[in-house]
Structure 1
Amino acid sequence: MSDVRVRKLQEFIKQEVSNMLMRGLKDPRIGFVTVTDVEVTGDLRQAMIYVSLFGSDEEKKASLQALKHAAGHVRSELGKVLRLRYTPEIAFANDTSLDYSMHIESLLNDIKKDEKNHGDA
């Protein structure tokens, strides 16, 4: 499959799922969720949708569980707008890269404060 076609499909799925999360899914367990990335296999049979979840650990877990429960609905809605022979199987995964980058930034800020305090002494 053409690499360009796969990338275009990934971006299209990312936009469509983002729109669905904003207006379409009515599950109260789904909190503040952002679609960060989509990976589609070369044969276009499977799509992994990475989401960034906000809230407490319990809220994040409930949101991810609700998204996994809604994967069939998301797939059927995508099937209506995609013009493919087969609609990819949908799976959701938590994207922790934002949490990790915030942790690294806080560590760097702590180091900067320590250097400033030791430099003043």
Structure 2
Amino acid sequence: MNYRIERLNGDMQRVLADIIEHRIKDPRKTQLVGVTKVDIAKDLKTAKVYLSVLGDKDSALTTFNTVVRSTGFIKSELAKEFRDIRQIPDIHFILDNTSEYGERIDKILKEIQRDD
């Protein structure tokens, strides 16, 4: 991956986190949302944005869907921040459950330790 895309991934991750946390005012966004990773395609036309949502499954899913519905607003805010990019990539949000898997594994390991 070239340096420009890597730098853009990091910059976009930082800006997206700010937009999602501070600029989306939808009352259905009740949980804390973190941007865990951004993968922009080499042609700069698409971006996969991995989101981690804290909270129980129902409210986390509602919050995730609220962010997905706000894609147009998010793209317009990105356009204001990244004026040097000719076209803002199409954003595809992906729910990142790796923290949940990590917590489950930790719980299993602790149970195994207790049994020993």
- Alpha-carbon distance in structure 2 between the residues aligned to 1:85 and 1:20: 20
Partner in structure 1 of residue 111 of structure 2 = 110
Q: CA RMSD in A?
A: 1.1
Tell me the TM-score normalised to structure 1 length. Answer: 0.89
Amino acid of the structure 2 residue aligned with 1:12:
D
Partner in structure 2 of residue 66 of structure 1 = 66
Q: What are structure 1's unaligned runs of at least 5 residues?
A: 116-121
Over the matched positions of the two proteins, sequence identity in percent amounts to: 27
Q: Secondary structure at the match of 1:99?
A: helix
- Alpha-carbon distance in structure 1 between the residues aligned to 2:21 and 2:105: 30
Whether contact under 8 Å (1:72, 1:90) holds in the other structure is: no
- Alpha-carbon distance in structure 2 between the residues aligned to 1:69 and 1:58: 17
Whether contact under 8 Å (1:38, 1:48) holds in the other structure is: yes
Q: CA deviation at 1:22?
A: 2.4
Aligned length: 114
Alpha-carbon deviations, 1:3-54, whole Å to 9, x = none? 1111111111100011112211101111211111111111111111111111
Tell me the TM-score normalised to structure 2 length. Answer: 0.93
- Tell which structure's C-alpha radius of gyration is larger: 1
- Alpha-carbon distance in structure 2 between the residues aligned to 1:28 and 1:92: 19
Alpha-carbon deviations, 1:82-119, whole Å to 9, x = none? 1111110112111011000111111111111111xxxx
